[in-house]
Homo-oligomer: A and B are copies of this chain.
Amino acid sequence: LKRITTQKQIILDFLRKSKIHPDADQVFLEVRKKLPRISKATVYRILDTFVDEKLIVAISGKKTRFDGNKIPHQHFLCTNCGLIVDIFDDETEKYLNKKKEIIKEGKAENFNLTFYGKCKKCRKKIIKK
């Protein structure tokens, strides 16, 4: 049995609105504006439970980042600056959901599709060099 605490509400609220795919530290810094006494350990624990409950999605990398957008989608990750942009491609989503059902290696429950490359801003910067 779970409890609804102020900390959880504020963190979920922030993640639902945010589009930057923040890491734990960014969540901590943001939430601390409203709850100055919150500790980083609490942030980590709450993020973990949200991922378990599938309220948010964890994006693995050097630092784990979190996505609170409820609509299933894919990602584009800039290998230069770390920017993560959401991609909403329904066709791909449907295609992979079908594939998911016929996987032999186990019972697939969900999937992650991420494209890697240089974002527009970084491409311009790199060309200048």
* Residues on A facing B (Cβ under 8 Å): 60-62, 76, 78-79, 85, 87, 89, 92, 95-96, 99-100, 103, 105-120, 122-123
Most chain B beta-carbon neighbours within 10 Å: one of A92, A100, A109, A113:
A113
Copies in the complex: 2
Contact among B87, B92, B106 with A76 in the assembled complex (CB-CB below 8 Å):
B106
Minimum distance in angstroms from A36 CB to a CB of chain B:
30
Main secondary structure on chain A at its contact with chain B? strand
Q: A60-B61, A76-B106 are in contact. Are A114 and B115 (CB under 8 A)?
A: no
Q: Is A112 in contact with B109, judged by CB distance below 8 angstroms?
A: no
**Hey, which chain B residues are within 8 Å of A123, CB to CB?**
106-107
